[in-house]
Structure 1
Amino acid sequence: MPNSTLYSTGRPAGRFTLRPMRHEDAAMVHRWVTQEYARFWGMQDNSIEQVAAFYHQLTAHNPHAALIGCCNDQPVFLMEFYKASEDDIGKFYAAQPGDYGMHLLIAPATHPVQQFSWQVFSTVIDFMFSLPEVKRVVVEPDERNTKIHRLNKRAGFCYQHTIDMGHKTAWLAFCQRENYQQALLKESLNMNDTHLLQAGTWLTGDTWAEANRLLIRKAIAEFAHEKIVTPAECAHGRYSLAVPGSETEYQFTASRLALDHWEIDAASLTKQENGHPLALDALQFITEFNEVIGIPQALLATYMEEISSTLCSSVFKLQKNNPDSRALVNADFQTVESSMTEGHPCFVANNGRIGFDARDYLAYAPEAATPVNLIWVAVHRRNAHFSSLSDLQYERLMREELGQSTVEQFNAQLTEKGLTHADYLFMPVHPWQWQNKLLTVFAADIANNDIVWLGVGDDQYQAQQSIRTFFNRSHPDKRYVKTALSVLNMGFMRGLSPYYMATTPAINEWLQDLVAGDEWLQRCDFRILREVAAVGYHNRHYEKAIKGDSAYKKMFAALWRDNPVAELKPGQRLMTMASFLHVDHHQKALLPALIADSGLAAERWVERYLSCYLSPLLHCFYQHDLVFMPHGENLILLLENNVPVSAYMKDIGEEIAVMNPDAVLPEKVQRLAVDVPENLKLLSVFTDVFDCIFRFISAILHQSATLPEEQFWQAVARCVKEYQQAHPHLASKFSRYDMFAPEFTRSCLNRLQLANNQQMINLSDPAENLKFAGTLVNPIARWR
Structure 2
Amino acid sequence: MTFMPESTPETAAGSAARLAMRFATTTRVGTLTVEPADPARDVALMHAWLAHPASAFWEMGDLTPAQVREYLDHVAASAAEDGWLLRRDGAPVAYCETYDPSRVVLDTLPPGIHRHLPGDLGMHVLIAPAPPAGGPEPRISGLTDAVMAAVMRFCLTDGTADDGARDGGSGDRAGADGGPGLAGRGALRVVVEPDARNLAIHAKNAAAGFRVVGDVDVVHGTHTKRARLSVCTRDDFAASPLGDGTGPLGTEPAAHLRPALAEAAHRHLVAKAIAEFTHERLFLPVAADPAGVGRDAVAGRMTGVAAGAAADAAPTEVTHDDPRPYVLVLDEAGVTYHFAARRYPLEHWVIDEASLRRSRTVPGGSLPLDALELVAELQPLLQIPEHLLPVYLEELSATLAGAMAKRERELLGVAPSSDVLTERLAGPDVPGAFQAVEAAMTEGHPGFVANNGRIGFSLSDYRAYAPERGGRLRLMWLAARREHTHLSAGAGWSERELYGTQLSGAERAAFADRLAGRGLDPADYLYLPVHPWQWEHRVAITFAADVARGDLVPLGPGADEYQPQQSIRTMFDVTRPDRHYVKVATAIQNMGFLRGLSPRYMRDTPAVNDFVHDLVTGDETLRAAGFGLLREVAAVGYTGDVYHRTPAPNPYRKMLAALWRESPVPLLADGERVATMAGLLHRDASGRALVTSLIRASGLPARDWLRHYLDAYLYPVVHCLLAHDLAFMPHGENLVLVLRDHVVRRVFMKDIGEEVVMLSDRALPERVERIRDVVDDEEKALAVFTDVFDGVLRHLSGILAADGVLGAAPFWRIVGEVIGRHRDEHPDLAGPGPGVDLRAETFAHSCLNRLQLRDTTNMVNLASQSSSLIYAGRLRNPLRSTEPA
Letter in 2 for 1:478: R
Pick from 470, 476, 483 the counterpart of residue 571 of structure 2. 470
Please give the per-residue CA displacement for 1:618-661, whole angstroms capped at 9, x wherever unaligned.
1110110000000000000000001001110000000000001x
- Residue 667 of structure 1: CA displacement? 1.6
- Residue 456 of structure 1: CA displacement? 0.8
- Equivalent runs, 1:282-321 vs 2, <5 Å: 282-321=371-410
Which residue in 2 is equivalent to 1:228? 282
Residues in 2 aligned to 1:262 and 1:721: alpha-carbon distance in whole angstroms: 27
* Cα distance change of structure 1 residues 439 and 255 upon mapping to structure 2, 3 Å threshold: same
SS in 1 for 2:864: coil
* Cα distance change of structure 1 residues 257 and 388 upon mapping to structure 2, 3 Å threshold: same
Please give the per-residue CA displacement for 1:99-147, whole angstroms capped at 9, x wherever unaligned.
xxxxxxxxxx99621699xxxxxxxxxxxxxxxxxxxxxxxxxxxxxxx
* Cα distance change of structure 1 residues 300 and 747 upon mapping to structure 2, 3 Å threshold: same
Give the RMSD, CA atoms, in angstroms.
Answer: 1.9
Is 1:727 paired with 2:826? yes
Residues in 1 aligned to 2:641 and 2:548: alpha-carbon distance in whole angstroms: 14
Pick from 319, 324, 331 the counterpart of residue 244 of structure 1. 331
Pick from 256, 259, 269 the counterpart of residue 343 of structure 2. 256
Pick from 765, 771, 775 the counterpart of residue 864 of structure 2. 765
- Equivalent runs, 1:359-370 vs 2, <5 Å: 359-370=460-471
Which residue in 2 is equivalent to 1:668? 767
Is 1:279 paired with 2:333? no
Which residue in 2 is equivalent to 1:68? none
Is 1:579 paired with 2:679? yes
Contact 1:197 1:358 in 2 (8 A): no
SS in 1 for 2:387: helix
Residues in 2 aligned to 1:424 and 1:489: alpha-carbon distance in whole angstroms: 32
Letter in 2 for 1:584: D
SS in 2 for 1:773: strand
Is 1:327 paired with 2:420? yes
Contact 1:529 1:563 in 2 (8 A): yes
* Cα distance change of structure 1 residues 384 and 445 upon mapping to structure 2, 3 Å threshold: same
Which residue in 2 is equivalent to 1:658? 758
SS in 1 for 2:555: strand
- Equivalent runs, 1:301-450 vs 2, <5 Å: 301-321=390-410, 322-331=415-424, 332-450=433-551
Letter in 2 for 1:112: T
Which residue in 2 is equivalent to 1:593? 693
Residues in 1 aligned to 2:482 and 2:461: alpha-carbon distance in whole angstroms: 31
Which residue in 1 is equivalent to 2:356? 269
* Cα distance change of structure 1 residues 767 and 627 upon mapping to structure 2, 3 Å threshold: same
Letter in 1 for 2:334: E
Contact 1:503 1:668 in 2 (8 A): yes
Which residue in 2 is equivalent to 1:202? 256
Letter in 2 for 1:280: L
Pick from 272, 282, 286 the counterpart of residue 218 of structure 1. 272
* Cα distance change of structure 1 residues 195 and 452 upon mapping to structure 2, 3 Å threshold: closer
* Cα distance change of structure 1 residues 448 and 583 upon mapping to structure 2, 3 Å threshold: same
Which residue in 1 is equivalent to 2:801? 702
**Larger C-alpha radius of gyration, 1 or 2?**
2
Residues in 1 aligned to 2:552 and 2:455: alpha-carbon distance in whole angstroms: 26
Number of residue-to-residue matches in the alignment: 601
Contact 1:539 1:553 in 2 (8 A): no
- Residue 735 of structure 1: CA displacement? 3.1
Contact 2:507 2:559 in 1 (8 A): no
SS in 1 for 2:467: coil
Residues in 2 aligned to 1:689 and 1:231: alpha-carbon distance in whole angstroms: 26
Which sections of structure 1, spanning at least 5 residues, go unmatched? 1-108, 117-190
* Cα distance change of structure 1 residues 196 and 762 upon mapping to structure 2, 3 Å threshold: farther
* Cα distance change of structure 1 residues 587 and 235 upon mapping to structure 2, 3 Å threshold: farther
SS in 2 for 1:764: helix
SS in 1 for 2:794: helix
Which sections of structure 2, spanning at least 5 residues, go unmatched? 1-156, 165-244, 291-323, 425-432
SS in 2 for 1:356: coil
Contact 2:466 2:564 in 1 (8 A): yes
SS in 2 for 1:259: coil
Letter in 2 for 1:240: V
Which residue in 2 is equivalent to 1:112? 160
Letter in 2 for 1:624: H
Residues in 2 aligned to 1:334 and 1:682: alpha-carbon distance in whole angstroms: 34
SS in 2 for 1:768: helix
TM (norm. structure 1) is 0.75
SS in 2 for 1:262: strand
Please give the per-residue CA displacement for 1:403-447, whole angstroms capped at 9, x wherever unaligned.
112211211211121111111111111111111111122122111
* Further displaced range: 235-244 or 336-345: 235-244
Please give the per-residue CA displacement for 1:516-559, whole angstroms capped at 9, x wherever unaligned.
110100011100000011111114411111423x2111010011
Letter in 2 for 1:492: F
Which residue in 2 is equivalent to 1:178? none
Residues in 1 aligned to 2:351 and 2:749: alpha-carbon distance in whole angstroms: 32
Pick from 719, 724, 727 the counterpart of residue 627 of structure 1. 727
Residues in 1 aligned to 2:401 and 2:869: alpha-carbon distance in whole angstroms: 29
Residues in 2 aligned to 1:197 and 1:655: alpha-carbon distance in whole angstroms: 45
SS in 1 for 2:878: coil
Is 1:460 paired with 2:561? yes
Letter in 1 for 2:616: V
Which residue in 2 is equivalent to 1:9? none
- Residue 679 of structure 1: CA displacement? 3.1
Which residue in 1 is equivalent to 2:664? 564
Contact 1:577 1:637 in 2 (8 A): yes
Please give the per-residue CA displacement for 1:276-299, whole angstroms capped at 9, x wherever unaligned.
111111111110110111100010
Is 1:754 paired with 2:841? no
Residues in 1 aligned to 2:339 and 2:246: alpha-carbon distance in whole angstroms: 36
- Residue 677 of structure 1: CA displacement? 4.2
Please give the per-residue CA displacement for 1:335-387, whole angstroms capped at 9, x wherever unaligned.
11101010000000000001111111111110112211100111011110111
Please give the per-residue CA displacement for 1:214-249, whole angstroms capped at 9, x wherever unaligned.
000000000000011211111471001112324320
* Cα distance change of structure 1 residues 209 and 349 upon mapping to structure 2, 3 Å threshold: same
Residues in 1 aligned to 2:776 and 2:551: alpha-carbon distance in whole angstroms: 44
Which residue in 2 is equivalent to 1:8? none
SS in 1 for 2:865: coil
Is 1:645 paired with 2:753? no
Residues in 1 aligned to 2:880 and 2:712: alpha-carbon distance in whole angstroms: 22
Residues in 1 aligned to 2:378 and 2:494: alpha-carbon distance in whole angstroms: 55
SS in 1 for 2:628: strand
Higher percent of residues as helix: 1
Residues in 1 aligned to 2:673 and 2:868: alpha-carbon distance in whole angstroms: 38
* Aligned residues with identical type, % of pairs: 44
Letter in 2 for 1:325: S
* Cα distance change of structure 1 residues 456 and 199 upon mapping to structure 2, 3 Å threshold: closer
Residues in 1 aligned to 2:690 and 2:253: alpha-carbon distance in whole angstroms: 34
Is 1:491 paired with 2:592? yes
Contact 1:442 1:539 in 2 (8 A): no
* Cα distance change of structure 1 residues 268 and 694 upon mapping to structure 2, 3 Å threshold: same
Residues in 2 aligned to 1:244 and 1:713: alpha-carbon distance in whole angstroms: 37
Residues in 1 aligned to 2:695 and 2:267: alpha-carbon distance in whole angstroms: 29
Letter in 2 for 1:575: A
Pick from 588, 594, 607 the counterpart of residue 707 of structure 2. 607
